[in-house]
Amino acid sequence: MSWEVTFLLVVGLLLVLLLSGLWIAFGLGLAGIIVLLLHGGPPALAPLGYVSWNTVESFVLTSVPLFILMGELILRAGLSENFYRSMGLWFHGLKGGLLQSNIVACAIFAAVSGSSVATAAAIGTVAIPEMTRRGYEPKILFGSLAAGGTLGILIPPSIPMIIYGAMVEQSVERLFIAGVLPGIVMSLIFMAYIWVRVAVTPSLVPPAEARPTWVERFSSLAGVAPMFLLILLVLGSIWLGYATPTEAAAVGASAAMVLALASRRLSWRVFAGSVTSTIRTTCMVLFIIVGAQILTYALVKTGASRALTAWVVDLGLSKWILFAIVTVLYIFLGCIIDGVSMMVLTLPILYPIIIAAGFDPIWFGIALVILIELGNVTPPVGLNMFVIHGISGGRPIGEVIWGSLPFGILMLAVLALIGIFPGLVSWLPSTLVRR
């Protein structure tokens, strides 16, 4: 069987299996098993036990449940409430008021959550009732929260970065550090957009309230301290070389539990709910990774992956034309499947092609995360939009969609920016990571 037939078979099988409603993890794995059977019969399946085990026993992947647990504890224990109110006081003077606070709060919360959905839910739960009561225009309110939530996977720690690093054998530490500057740039661009929108249309926000005193601002810092402590423990330990991402995740999860206990908000119900949600999410992620690895093994074993890469290289396309095609593909996929599934579904096929075209694997990892972010605010499967809609008090979903659209365009602008200035991705890890 030629590589062309094998590749078309894989694509056809995935379309049939996924459109039939089969879980993505099992669809990926079953497609790989069928290809192996057609090429080598039952004996070709013998290594799958080793392949599956070797995938999930990775030390790096141990950090996934730990970071998820950290985010769940922070979210369920309500530690984000005082934090958000403090941000509102400190950024009161910026044009846009609490809209600016949404972006800043999401950016900082992202540094302790690792999850886009958790960031949107944590900040949105506090912000929406407060800002609706004050009279903020719903579309820009919901859009700022849905888009701000996406920073949860660009600013480290980041679950998709961990999965990407494990799948393509790249340093998670470098990926974490590489995401910092693009995350800051994206936050500033979001804030600049809000400033311009409010300057052009002042009716989007209510009349300015009395400016908080400096005493009020400084007294509110007690609500910010837990977040900054977690950031220092998690990211500081990684950056300074004291801990691996997995070790930092363990420290972060433990610290989150201590902070929740100290705040007297860690009940048995909160703890059980956090653990249950962590187990559910982790199992989903690991099953998807195993399924993707089985498909990857099948493509490599049959030679289809290598042949496809050579064929694309022989086309002589410019690397940026190739990346533009990949970007369009990911925008389309982001409309129909979630980010993690999209990544593990495509990496076995696209990663060798991208690397052969001359792209840096760390740079591509950050670009891929931005495209996943875009998928989170793209209908009909934009998870962040559904989270914000769920806590909006019954507002039409269209308000969330149209409010998120300008921020989605800005994400593409950031993607173009890191393409023009790749140093935004590469400078910080090359400076801080010597090994």
Q: Is 61 helix (H, G, I), strand (E, B) or coil?
A: helix
pLDDT for residue 212: 77
- Rounded Cα–Cα distance for residues 91 and 215 (Å): 15
Residues 6+ apart with CB under 8 A from 49: none
Cα gap 154→283, rounded to integer Å: 22
What pLDDT does residue 204 have?
Answer: 86
Q: Is the peptide bond before 380 cis (omega within 30 degrees of 0)?
A: yes
Q: What's the CA gap between 130 and 135, in Å, rounded?
A: 9
CA–CA separation, 227 and 362 (whole Å):
27
At position 315, the amino acid (one-letter code) is L
> Can you tell me which residue has the tokens 């003077």?
93
Instruction: Give the pLDDT confidence score for residue 303 in this predicted structure.
Output: 78
Is the peptide bond preceding residue 182 cis, with omega within 30 degrees of 0?
A: no
Phi and psi at residue 276, to the nearest 5°: -60, -45
Residue 48 is predicted with a pLDDT of 83
- The alpha helices in 135-211, defined as continuous H runs, are 138-150, 159-168, 172-178, 180-200
How far is residue 275's CA from residue 266's CA, in Å, rounded to a whole number? Answer: 12
Q: If the chain, 435 residues long, is cut into consecutive pieces of 10 residues, what is the mean pLDDT of each piece?
A: 75 79 80 85 82 75 84 77 76 78 85 79 81 86 89 86 88 90 94 91 79 78 79 82 84 88 84 88 82 81 75 80 88 77 82 89 94 83 79 82 91 94 91 68
Q: Are 238 and 250 in contact (CB under 8 A)?
A: no
Whether residue 84 contacts residue 171, with contact meaning beta carbons closer than 8 Å, is answered with no
Q: % helix / strand / coil in the chain, to the nearest 5?
A: 80, 0, 20
Q: Are 403 and 141 in contact (CB under 8 A)?
A: yes
What DSSP string runs through 303-340? THHHHHHHHHHHTT--HHHHHHHHHHHHHHHHTTS-HH
